[in-house]
Structure 1
């Protein structure tokens, strides 16, 4: 069997909030949407945003943020410091810029409004 990753689905509290976040901050194009679902074109694969089932949603407090082990990595076409500063100016929580020895990229993690971690990746 050959396989190709086509879509990553995040289960979220507020599809509209996260759709707007990724559309406005990363220029992702919305392919499909309805009240409980949005599909975004992330250039080579899709990001699906699906509302968490009611049986789970009812148990979450209003200010709950997710703690998961998934990170969305976006390779960007501008310098990473400018991108980081732009997101900070929009009140997006961003960490420090980092890199590793013999690694050709700068990296910077941030979090979306529901606590999902994303990373900016820019060539040195």
Structure 2
């Protein structure tokens, strides 16, 4: 068996600059590498890499369309969930309703970034 620790999650993007600005401005992530097709953001114990899609894929994509995917980035936040959600809504970020589960010590709220990637705010009750 291999012992592994999560180091980086990479999101392929139509527009790396827009996603970089979204995550830096809304979650205070720090840029640790950057060039024309790649940005690496520090997100605490792991990094988020933003990599521009290859030209062969960009030509086939509708730039106004968000993509369905099976990935969700979870951010544990240091403000109450209502405040975090309200701050993002005030910036026109699409946010879903706040939820929780029985015997679960966290409040949760999902949102989407400018390219349709799902993220979640997580806050202790």
Q: What is the TM-score with the length of structure 1 in the denominator?
A: 0.99
Aligned to 2:42: 41
Q: How far apart are the structure 1 equivalents of 2:99 and 2:21?
A: 27
Q: How far apart are the structure 2 equivalents of 1:65 and 1:32?
A: 26
Question: Which string of whole-angstrom CA distances, capped at 9 and with x for unpartnered residues, describes residues 49-96 of structure 1?
Answer: 000111011000120211100000000010000000000000000000
Q: How far did residue 23 of structure 1 move?
A: 0.2
Question: Per the alignment, in what secondary structure is the counterpart of residue 65 of structure 1?
Answer: coil
Q: Which consecutive residues of structure 1, in runs of 5 or more, have no partner in the other structure?
A: none
Q: How far apart are the structure 2 equivalents of 1:36 and 1:66?
A: 20
What is the Cα-based RMSD across aligned positions, in Å? Answer: 0.5
- 2:34–2:40 CA contact under 8 A, matched in 1: yes
Q: How far did residue 3 of structure 1 move?
A: 1.1
Q: How far apart are the structure 2 equivalents of 1:73 and 1:98?
A: 14
Question: Per the alignment, in what secondary structure is the counterpart of residue 22 of structure 2?
Answer: helix
- Whether 2:49 is the aligned partner of 1:52: answer no
- 2:40–2:47 CA contact under 8 A, matched in 1: yes
Aligned to 1:101: 102
Q: Which consecutive residues of structure 2, in runs of 5 or more, have no partner in the other structure?
A: none
Spell out structure 1 runs of 4+ moving beyond 2 A. Answer: none
Aligned to 1:19: 20
- 2:14–2:63 CA contact under 8 A, matched in 1: no
Question: Per the alignment, in what secondary structure is the counterpart of residue 19 of structure 1?
Answer: helix
